[in-house]
């Protein structure tokens, strides 16, 4: 950012600043948690352990859905992330036959 804006004097503006700081902290924590659960799924897939993969995928899907329902990420973004993780997990859970 270029810098902070001049301090506000309007009470509603002050309240909005306080709220946005809280929301920013909460959203950052949730997004960091999402990155962690995604990495867990990827690590489980690399380990090729079916039980770990299915558990990690379940946990990741749950966290992604929660983030979307709270408005931290858009519902389409959540859907896309879940779909990509499921596709990745399927490479271990349902190996290609042929």
- pLDDT tens for 15-62 read 999 999 999 999 999 999 999 999 999 999 999 889 999 999 999 999
The per-residue pLDDT for range 68-95, each reduced to its tens digit, is 999 999 999 999 999 999 999 999 888 7
Residue 53 forms part of a structural domain: yes
Look up the CATH number of the domain holding residue 74: 1.20.58.110
How far apart CA 29 and CA 87 sit, in angstroms, is 26
Residue 72 forms part of a structural domain: yes
The predicted model scores a pTM of 0.81
Give the chain's domain count: 1
Residue 70 has a pLDDT of 93
Residue 98 has a pLDDT of 53
Residue 44 has a pLDDT of 94
**Under a CB-based contact definition with an 8 Å cutoff, are residues 67 and 78 in contact?**
yes
Identify the domain containing residue 37 by its residue range: 23-93
């Amino acid at each position: 950012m270029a810098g902070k804006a001049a301090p506000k004097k309007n009470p509603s503006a002050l309240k909005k600043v306080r709220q946005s700081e809280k929301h920013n902290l909460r959203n950052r924590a949730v997004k960091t948690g999402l990155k962690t659960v995604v990495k867990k799924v990827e690590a489980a897939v690399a380990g090729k352990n079916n039980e770990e993969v299915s558990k990690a995928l379940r946990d990741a899907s749950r966290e992604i859905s929660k983030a979307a329902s709270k408005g931290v990420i858009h519902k389409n973004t959540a859907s896309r992330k879940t779909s990509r993780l499921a596709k990745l997990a399927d490479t271990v859970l349902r190996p290609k036959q042929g």
